[in-house]
Chains A and B, each alone.
Chain A
Amino acid sequence: MTDKRILIIDDEADVREIAKVSLEITKHWQVTTAASGDEGLALASSCHPDAILLDVVMPQVDGLATLIKLRENMATCHIPVILLTATIRLATQPAYAAAGAKAILVKPFDPGLLGSQIETALGW
């Protein structure tokens, strides 16, 4: 398993921090974080992560809008996106599948398993 680079886009500091620490400890992956959709878009274009964890509910530019922009941008459209949501119902929304997200993970996730779950979903 080579070193993967992950970008986490979430407006909540605690989620960003825990996800980052979790992936660093369990998988030794390199993790960058962004607190908003716009910041995330910029980082994704410049850093080219191997995968993006994207929060669905964010103020201003929400998750779905960010996802659509990521898919439209030539520089980022190939990066697999996993959505994070605190709402269980959202887990079955076809809009997210249509927009091209690879998987949905409902919060709270297990910090001990996050890395393995990402590997399973993306076939790593």
Chain B
Amino acid sequence: MKILVVDDDDLLVEQLTADLLAQNYVVDTTSDGLLGWEYATATPYDLIVLDINLPGLDGVSLCQRLRQGGYAGAILLLTGRSSSDDKVMGLNAGADDYLVKPYTLVELTARLRALLRRPQMVISPTLRYGSLELDPNGSLVTVADRPVELSPKEYGLLELFLRHPDRIFSNTLLLERLWSVEDAPGEETIRTHIKRLRRKLKQAGVDDMIENVYGMGYRLRPGSVGPAVGPDVSDAAPTPAEPDRAAAAREAAIAAFERFRPTIDQRMAALRDAALALKANHLPTAVQTAAQGAAHKLAGSLGLFGYGTGSHLARRLEDWLEQPDLAQGQTFNGLVDQLDGLLRSPPAATSTENNREIVPLPPAAVLGDRIAVVAVDDDPIMLAQLQSLLPRWGVDVLGLQDPRQTLATLEASPPDLLLIDLEMPSLSGLDLCRQLRQIDRWQTLPIVCLTACRDAATLYQLYQAGADDYLPKPVVEPELVSRIFHRVERGRLLQTLAGVDPHSGLANRQKGTIELKLLLALAQRQGEIVTLLVIQLDPRDPPGEATPIRSLGQSLTGLIGSGDVLACWGPSEFIVGLWATDRAAAQALLGQTLKLQLMDKLSSSSDALGTLDTTANGTTVNAINIDAITVGTATFPVDGQTLPLLYRQAQRPAARLPLSP
């Protein structure tokens, strides 16, 4: 039971609150009439106690406003005035009862209890849907004036849908509204009730009234809904339950404190032992360790019980004990005393010290690398926000304001994930998504959409267009980061399964192995030869710099034929399997001209690596030192008949193909 007390007599409020809390009521108090109005519209109260004389908004006016707003709970007016005019005015304004000061606390609580016992007799207008009518006052349901028999839960469901024609109710929400916490059944029960309700309605001649919204819940089919009841204060906020439940959880935690007091006391004792020892100017290791352990535990738990500051103090104590300075024992003792004092006063239900964000961790698969994200959004502010927020999480963002450049950007620097804003004027985000998914290369690219829409239709379209996930706007940091990490991890997994190496876009080692084995098996059957080339790049730059690898990979793609195999074997290694080609032919194809061809390809490729730079250290093309490319060969069947054997043979120094012109 929730009670709101709006009264500026502090002493009375304190006494009343203590009394009500002791009887397990939930009590909110305020001393201002306008604040009282705000409270009442934000939370469903069972009873509101109002003083007539209030700052902000007087009691009678507040009472009127509450009733006009549809508040159906009990209202008790308190006043020092006893003239009958006032009483009448109060009752006319919609108060259920009226109490004149001075009154005793006992009297007041007795009246309150009486009010809370009374059924709420507020006349609600009939709810209509087509030919169906629901009269909440008599709990009667008729279709074309013929009565329909419904069980209490079926009636409850119907009334809920009719009162909120535009709400989608999930199973959880339905459970919350219609069942008490103690006897909440499973989702199956909801489905059964809905099924029965639908059947009864159909029999009565109303078909298709309740629709399933895929993945979200049930709602009234948009159609002919009659005069809805006015803003019903008890159902005002979109999810009135959530903040209530959060508060209830905090209260339950505080209530549990007494049970854990012995443990807390033990820990405090360990701290006091340390304080005592410090007064004598020495701190034996055993005492220090015990105190450190105690402080650590207290830091982690006091905040749970509403002593957020306590956790904070305990942390400082823990830090102090890490490097104890006996000369500064005073500091330590002072903190312990503070903590002691704090624990003797009651805890705070709304502790702001506990506002810790959950910290998402980067997926193991990408640890060590930075995550590359391309974000397509016509809003430069959003892009700037992403670019300032994400780097500290190891995510680098390339922002694109013009969605038409997306394809070119992706080809030039394929990212780990693509963020698309759905609300863009020029090209629709969904169209972009659809276009990308039609291209093989971007099938496995994780795509996350940013959208302000929450409706089922948009979300459905989003998934149909090929997006993997969405983030609601305004974007919240922990959620953004968690989704990015999650989708990148899934993307990597998909790519591995699809056989694609993320950096080069070529076949990865698993796929390459399969293809090479097939090539060798075919060669065996047809009596053909295959030359294996193992191309290793020894990069001088730090790992994670994928550009040279990618360029090399792209160049190699252009140099092989359709029956050949090309795969990325490792971070800086490629394997080529050349059909019906011997070592000499391979050399001719790739050997002497490899360097020049590569240099040619590299300098003309889209991620132009700049000019050739001939220095004393060798010829480099930007970050690639050409002399650091080694190509080893081995030919099937003469050098080996299995892939592992051929690979080993290709590593021998004698197997090197000279590259210098």
The complex places the Cα of A118 from the Cα of B299 at a distance, in Å, of 21
Cα separation A42 to B363 with both chains bound (whole Å): 25
Q: Would you call A43 an interface residue if the criterion is a C-beta within 8 Å of the partner chain's C-beta atoms? A: no
Indicate if the CB atoms of B303 and A107 lie closer than 8 Å: yes
Q: Give the secondary structure class of B's interface.
A: helix
Q: Min CB distance, B26 to chain A, in Å?
A: 13
Tell me the chain B residues, 351-366 only, with Cβ under 8 Å from chain A: 351, 354-364
**Cβ of B282 to closest chain A Cβ, rounded Å:** 27
Interface centre among A22, A28, A86, A87 (most CB of B within 10 A): A86
Which residue of chain B is the closest to A23 with respect to CB atoms?
Answer: B249
Of the stretches A33-41, A44-52, A98-106, the one at the interface is A98-106
| Interchain CA distance A106-B606 in the complex, whole Å | 46
Number of A positions contacting B (CB below 8 A): 47
Question: Which residue in chain A gives the minimum CB-CB distance to B358?
Answer: A117
Decide: B367 and A108 in contact? CB cutoff 8 A.
no
Q: Are B250 and A112 in contact (CB under 8 A)?
A: yes
Residues in chain A near residue B184, CB distance under 8 A:
28
Among A86, A91, A102, point to the contact of B297 (Cβ < 8 A): A86
CA distance A104 to B356 in the complex (A): 11
Assess whether B358 is in contact with A12, with CB atoms less than 8 Å apart. no
Q: Which chain B residues lie closer than 8 Å to A114 at the CB level?
A: 249
Q: How far is the CA of A17 from the CA of B363 in the complex (A)?
A: 30
Interface contact A12-B356, CB-CB below 8 Å: no
Q: How far is B298's CA from A107's CA once the two chains are assembled, in angstroms?
A: 10
The interface on chain B, measured as residues whose beta carbon lies within 8 A of the other chain's beta carbons, has a size of: 54
**Inter-chain contact B482/A2, CB cutoff 8 Å:** no
Q: In the complex the two chains form, what is the Cα distance from A87 to B300 in whole Å?
A: 8
Tell which of A1, A87, A121 touches B358, judged by Cβ atoms closer than 8 Å. A121
Interface: B342 (CB within 8 A) = no
In the complex, residue of chain B having the shortest beta-carbon distance to the beta carbon of A113: B246
Residues of A with C-beta under 8 A to B486: 123
Q: Mark B347-389, 1 if CB is under 8 A from A, else 0.
A: 0000100111111111110010000000000000000000000
Chain A nearest CB, measured from B273 CB (Å): 20
Instruction: Give 30 CB contacts A-B under 8 Å.
Output: A1-B170, A12-B300, A17-B259, A18-B305, A21-B249, A22-B252, A25-B245, A25-B249, A26-B248, A92-B359, A96-B361, A97-B362, A97-B367, A103-B358, A103-B359, A103-B360, A107-B311, A108-B303, A108-B308, A109-B303, A109-B304, A110-B250, A110-B351, A110-B354, A111-B249, A111-B250, A117-B478, A118-B358, A120-B482, A123-B483
| Interface residues, chain B, with chain A CB atoms under 8 Å away | 170-172, 175-176, 181, 184, 186-187, 242, 245-250, 252-253, 256, 259-260, 263, 296-297, 299-305, 308, 311, 315, 351, 354-364, 367, 469, 476, 478-479, 482-483, 486
Known: A121-B358, A123-B483. 14 other contacts (CB 8 A): A3-B186, A17-B256, A18-B301, A82-B358, A86-B300, A103-B361, A105-B359, A108-B300, A108-B304, A108-B308, A111-B253, A112-B249, A120-B479, A123-B482
